[in-house]
């Protein structure tokens, strides 16, 4: 199984949203903190990304920024422009910009924006260790797949056609994975000693063990068997796994089983007995006991809460 894809699927909730925005200078907006993540791509012109902490990021045509941790940030045509507070509507959508009192005269910036809602109560450590701002500047020959996805998404938003709703949703999912892949590849190759999950996915032995866990969480894995799959002794594997992943192998296995169970309960009507079997529990009772210990509520109650409608994010 693809660990990166699994990490995203485990946290994603609701539908992603996107929009194409034309901004004439001077303009500035402040986006509040949220449970989601978002991205911005400059298709034309320039912009400044102003994080709550850290240095502002200058963005030019083709630049991508990904806001991983859902913290407040600003976006503006210049660092001296006042930021207008932008708040989502009760249904989760962003208000349309007020019509200009006169014809726009400043330089035009065209932005492609997107937002995803995440369940941060089960934040996968791979995403949790991302920096607040991932900046992927445009470079000749770099991130070609990401650039292609951006172009396709921009075209669908500029001129919607039959089927665009489905295409846009699929492209947003694809774009998110391309952004994270680009970050991972940069961490892996851009520095001499990658750390954390970038190092774990780059390590052949640990990556093999993670694929086993993600590919078959119901299997009664032991440290010995995972070590054998990784080509290491039990002790060497346990040390390396804990050093790179941040916790012992069986601790991560239990966490992933419960995370998988939560996703199954949120997304479909799979019977509890089947959820228990697919996450490695011999009985529904044993599963329910483990689930309540992890989540604080019984599986049925968790499913009922998760089925309640909640606002979805939308791109500003």
Q: How confident is the model at residue 297 (pLDDT cuts 50, 70, 90)?
A: very high
The beta-strand segments (E) located in the chain are 12-24, 28-31, 37-44, 47-51, 57-59, 64-67, 73-76, 84-85, 108-118, 133-136
- Tell me: the pLDDT tens digits for 46-67? 999 999 888 999 999 999 999 9
For the domain spanning 203-306, the CATH number is: 1.10.10.60
Report strand pairing: 12-24 vs 108-118.
antiparallel
Host H or E run for residue 260: helix 249-267
| 170 Cβ neighbours under 8 A, 6+ residues apart | none
Q: Where are the domains of the chain?
A: 3-190, 203-306
**What letter would DSSP give residue 129?**
T
Distance CA 242, CA 73 (A): 34
Distance CA 16, CA 14 (A): 7
**Per DSSP, what are the bridge partners of residue 50?**
74
Q: Do domains 3-190 and 203-306 have the same CATH topology?
A: no
Percentage of the chain beyond pLDDT 70 is 89
Distance CA 52, CA 70 (A): 11
- How many CB atoms are located within 10 Å of the residue 222 CB? 13
Name the phi and psi angles at 300, rounded to 5.
Answer: -65, -40
pTM for this predicted structure: 0.80
At residue 254, the pLDDT reads: 95
Most confident of 85-99, 181-195, 229-243: 229-243
- Tell me: the pLDDT tens digits for 189-229? 665 566 678 888 889 999 999 999 999 999 999 999 999 99
Q: Which fold has domain 3-190?
A: Jelly Rolls (2.60.120)
Contact 27, 76 (CB under 8 A): yes
Q: How confident is the model at residue 283 (pLDDT cuts 50, 70, 90)?
A: very high
At residue 91, the pLDDT reads: 46
């Amino acid at each position: 199984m693809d660990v990166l894809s699994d990490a995203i699927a485990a946290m994603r909730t609701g539908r992603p949203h996107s929009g194409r925005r034309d901004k004439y200078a001077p303009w500035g907006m402040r986006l509040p903190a949220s449970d989601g993540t978002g991205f911005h791509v400059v298709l034309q012109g320039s912009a400044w990304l102003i994080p709550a902490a850290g240095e502002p990021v200058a963005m030019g045509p083709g630049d991508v920024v990904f806001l991983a941790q859902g913290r407040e940030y600003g976006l503006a045509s210049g660092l001296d422009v006042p930021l207008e507070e932008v708040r989502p509507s009760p249904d989760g959508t962003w208000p349309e910009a007020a019509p200009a009192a006169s014809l726009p005269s400043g330089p035009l910036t065209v932005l492609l924006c997107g937002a995803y809602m995440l369940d941060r109560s089960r934040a996968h450590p791979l995403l949790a260790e991302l920096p607040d701002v991932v900046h992927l500047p445009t470079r000749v020959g770099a991130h070609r797949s990401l650039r292609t996805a951006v172009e396709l998404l921009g075209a669908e938003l500029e001129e919607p056609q039959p089927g665009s709703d489905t295409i846009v949703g699929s492209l947003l999912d694809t774009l998110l994975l391309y952004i994270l892949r680009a970050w991972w590849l940069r961490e892996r190759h851009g520095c001499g000693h990658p750390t954390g999950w970038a190092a774990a996915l780059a390590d052949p032995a640990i990556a093999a063990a993670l694929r086993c866990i993600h590919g078959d969480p119901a299997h009664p894995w032991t440290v010995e068997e995972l070590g054998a799959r990784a080509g290491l002794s039990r002790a060497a594997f346990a040390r390396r796994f804990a050093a790179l992943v941040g916790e012992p192998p069986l601790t991560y296995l239990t966490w992933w089983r419960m995370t998988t169970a939560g996703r199954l309960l949120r997304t479909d009507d799979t019977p509890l007995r089947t959820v228990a079997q697919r996450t490695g529990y011999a009985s529904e009772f044993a599963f329910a006991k483990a689930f309540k210990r992890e989540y604080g509520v019984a599986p049925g109650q968790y499913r009922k809460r998760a089925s309640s409608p909640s606002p979805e994010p939308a791109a500003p």
